[in-house]
A and B are shown apart, each in its own frame.
Chain A
């Protein structure tokens, strides 16, 4: 990719717990171009959320970003000072979470929560920030923004609250929006509405999106590129159409199969076996205990990402 907006290289984030070191993100590499939407899929616990928080350096002890680099425009985010990072957060790169019920401060008016970010990054009068915040409310489809600005979060439904969170995240016109499972906690109808909203905003504002989800359907709908994560690593990465048509990694194929056979919005409970222990991951290829195609090399050697077709990468010995 020429001139990527975001370039992550060999990112490692470990958690130092009582029971051992949890290697939540263990060497993740990918790129994000301007205006692109990248989906990161994987089961719960595969490291996708930790990756997204690492980008904004929101990892708290006992977690620590051990090594790697995160290049955004010209700088490596991992070398910036805290205050430099603060001018990136919210303004250049924004984050939204999956649970709209807990993402908003319950004792603060919703409008203020949006204008807070605006006032932080731009030199505007209080009046102006409020005006901009109300425009954001309109943009995400909150009716009567003029009055609703002054309401508290509990007066909004789950779907509305997610819109508020999106409004807050986009209020400063970031180049990248990281959406961590934005629709998982919503009912199916509301999910569709939010996805519509994101798609609409995407074309209107031209921002890049990293969409984290375990739902392949969402990826198919919104994303151009997809990275499949397993046990803290990316096992397959490339354009959505290619991967869906022709998955190379056995894990990706297994995920696809589940999508086809079940109707539920999540297909994670159909792959036999347990997610690996990230303190003591399996030797060799981490997927080998659950892989139908595993052979001896898989137990001893850890596959790196190979490039296939010059268009995408995957990490498996099968098709070497």
Chain B
């Protein structure tokens, strides 16, 4: 298994290089001068050249890129935010944990609901629960995240005034954003639990287990689900990683102080140092999450875990 992990880690290097190249060049994609974009039209000559020097924009492009790599991976200092002057990395460090908490909560909700429903759906095909959950999952997949967020906000904050609509000053502020964020994962996980279980239930070893005289409950949970979980866990892990970067729409709607909202604001305000840094952070987190999923998968599948090659 160690070999397997090492190989995956080595593959990360070209990926991160490519990612950093793209993140770096975002600033240079604009047709206009990035400095002007950041500071606005009325900025003084002095300010412009100061910033240009600070960001090293006068150096040849490859030097800039290397400096960028060094700043992120070695020094951990990505400069200051144009919008509010605070150090970029400390801004991110303040917001990232919030997004992680949000993603965890959403994933938790999704898993708790979807796996039991998926199992029931698979073991009682064409029952009411099965049909309802399949339709529900399809609808859940089709809902635009931001729209669902607005609907939830309207229902619970505006109309019934039960929950706060924005910010993050206590656990109750997590509920609506986590609900909105979990919807898509709920739908995906229910479907994949159902299809994975359906596949596994047909397998010979499940029938063998029954032929030994095991109670149906044991057959389903001890034999079927344990095998069905492998693809489910993989997908869940990938979705979690995705949530870290993809929560920005929900965060923006609920003004939730996470890294997503920070990024959107920075993008809208042309705050390039923040944009570059947060893209790097989100992508790194996603890539690491994928790696973790690969490791978990290797652990769950005995063939890979014990493979001595």
Contact = CB atoms under 8 A, between A and B. Distances in A.
The answer to whether A and B touch in the complex, with CB atoms under 8 Å apart, is yes
Contacts of A82: 216
Given A97-B204, A105-B205, A120 B306 contact: no
Contacts of A97: 204, 207-208
B213 A107 contact: no
Interface in A94-140: 94-97, 99, 102-108, 116-117, 120-121
A89 B212 contact: yes
Contacts of B301: 107
Interface in A147-193: 152, 154-155, 165, 168-169
Contact of B302 (A94, A106, A165): A106
Contact of B212 (A107, A120, A152): A120
A46 to B, nearest CB: 20
B166 interface: no
Interface string B189-220: 00000000000000111011111111110000
B300 A107 contact: yes
Given A105-B223, A105-B227, A95 B213 contact: no
Contact of A154 (B213, B300, B302): B302
Contact of A107 (B208, B210, B302): B302
Given A107-B300, A107-B302, A152-B302, A102 B203 contact: yes
B303 A86 contact: no
By size class, the interface of chain B is: 20 to 34
Interface string A55-82: 0101000000000000000000000001
Contacts of B302: 106-107, 152, 154
9 contacts: A56-B211, A58-B210, A102-B204, A104-B208, A105-B226, A106-B303, A107-B300, A116-B212, A154-B303
A98 to B, nearest CB: 9
- Residue in A86, A87, A99 with the greatest tally of chain B CB atoms within 10 Å: A86
B198 to A, nearest CB: 12
Contacts of B208: 95-97, 103-104, 165, 168
B211 A94 contact: yes
Contacts of B214: 86, 90, 116, 120
A180 to B, nearest CB: 10
A58 B213 CA distance: 10
Given A107-B301, A121-B213, 16 more contacts: A58-B211, A82-B216, A86-B215, A90-B211, A90-B213, A96-B208, A102-B205, A103-B208, A104-B205, A105-B226, A107-B300, A152-B302, A152-B306, A154-B302, A155-B306, A165-B208
Given A105-B227, A107-B227, A89 B205 contact: no
A94 B306 CA distance: 31
Nearest to A155: B306
Nearest to B209: A105
A88 B211 CA distance: 9
Contacts of A152: 302-303, 306
